[in-house]
């Protein structure tokens, strides 16, 4: 595949700790901007993983996510491979990916979520943690995205409840409502939900230990991962 400066930027190394989500964003954005045009064949998996400097398992997760979202198609056989879809989803919606208003919501979320995690690590009682564990299990067993998202919102609100701050609960409820409006604009690949819920599970374990610093770092990664997914899967603005 011929390479120009823009294409080289698409395939530059991805950095931890959000390698999965950033890979989804990198490829999804390239498709949205037309750098990877419909029908374009991606490099072989081994070569692409080497270029991005990520593991092949992480790459497979990202590619599977983009196949599930309709951005890529996988074909088998001698002439097979992974190709950009002829018509990526949501291309006709009027929206501006990660515009000023969107970033305002995401920044507000960082402040509320990390603050709630700090206080939850300090104040949460065992029943609070049990409730969070129940919600993690409910997300893991969800049959569809709507069921998953209801448990997901309740999980984040429950972290604020565990912090013992009614005002934080109000703020978290508002933030989750705003996030739902954004998330409704994108596809909901199973790989993304599974990865996100594993972070939920790890967060509860850290909160049980009172490990506030590690819990905040994990929550920041969790939020940043959502930002990458939104940036990669939101449709282009229609001019």
Q: pLDDT for 122-139, tens place per residue?
A: 999 999 999 999 999 999
Concatenated DSSP letters of the chain: ----HHHHHHTSPP-TTSHHHHHHHHHHHHHHHTSS-TTPBPPPHHHHHHHHT--HHHHHHHHHHHHHTTSEEEE-STT-EEEE-SS-TTTT----TT-HHHHHHHHHHHHHHHHHHHHHHHH--HHHHHHHHHHHHHHHT-SSHHHHHHHHHHHHHHHHHHTT-HHHHHHHHHHHHHHHHHHTTS---HHHHHHHHHHHHHHHHHHHHT-HHHHHHHHHHHHHHHHHHHHHHSPPPP-
68 and 110 assigned to the same domain: no
pLDDT at 97: 55
| Domains held by the chain: number | 2
**114 and 49 share one domain:** no
Same domain, 80 and 104: no
Neighbour count for residue 215 (Cβ, 10 Å): 24
Residue 56 lies in a domain: yes
Is residue 191 domain-shared with residue 73, that is, in the same domain?
A: no
Structural domain range at position 212? 100-233
Q: What is the pLDDT of residues 175-224, one digit of tens each?
A: 999 999 888 878 888 889 999 999 999 999 999 999 999 999 999 999 99
Which of 84, 108, 132 is the endpoint of a domain?
A: 84
HSE of 10 in the Cβ direction (CA atoms, 13 Å)?
23
Q: Is residue 94 situated within a structural domain?
A: no
pLDDT for position 102: 87
Task: Identify whether 92 is part of a domain.
Answer: no
Is residue 191 one of the residues assigned to a domain?
A: yes
- On whether both 117 and 221 belong to a single domain, the answer is yes
Structural domain ending residue among the three candidates 27, 49, 84: 84
What is the per-residue pLDDT for 91?
45
Instruction: Identify whether 48 is part of a domain.
Output: yes
The residue from 84, 117, 137 where one domain ends is 84
pTM for this predicted structure = 0.78
* CATH (domain of 141): 1.20.120.530
Q: For residue 32, what is the domain's CATH number? A: 1.10.10.10
One domain, residues 64 and 131: no
């Amino acid at each position: 595949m011929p390479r120009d400066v823009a294409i080289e930027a698409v395939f530059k190394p991805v950095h931890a700790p959000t390698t999965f989500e950033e890979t989804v964003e990198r490829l999804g954005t390239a498709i949205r901007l037309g750098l990877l045009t419909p029908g374009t064949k991606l490099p072989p998996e081994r070569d692409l993983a080497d270029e991005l400097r990520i593991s092949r398992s992480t790459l497979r997760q990202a590619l599977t996510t983009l196949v599930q979202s309709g951005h890529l198609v996988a074909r088998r056989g001698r002439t097979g491979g992974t190709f950009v879809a002829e018509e990526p989803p949501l291309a006709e919606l009027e929206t501006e990916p990660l515009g000023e208003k969107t970033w305002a919501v995401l920044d507000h979320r960082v402040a509320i979520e990390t603050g709630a995690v700090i206080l939850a690590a300090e104040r949460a009682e065992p029943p609070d943690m049990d409730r969070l564990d129940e919600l993690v299990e409910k997300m893991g067993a969800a049959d569809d995205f709507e069921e998953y998202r209801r448990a997901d919102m309740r999980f984040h609100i429950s972290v604020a409840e565990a912090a013992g701050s009614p005002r934080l609960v109000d703020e978290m409820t508002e933030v989750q409502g705003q996030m739902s409006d954004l998330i409704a604009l994108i596809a909901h690949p199973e790989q993304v939900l599974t990865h996100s819920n594993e972070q939920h599970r790890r967060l509860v374990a850290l909160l049980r230990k009172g490990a506030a610093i590690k819990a905040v770092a994990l929550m920041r990664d969790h939020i940043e991962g959502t930002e990458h997914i939104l940036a990669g899967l939101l449709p282009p603005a229609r001019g």
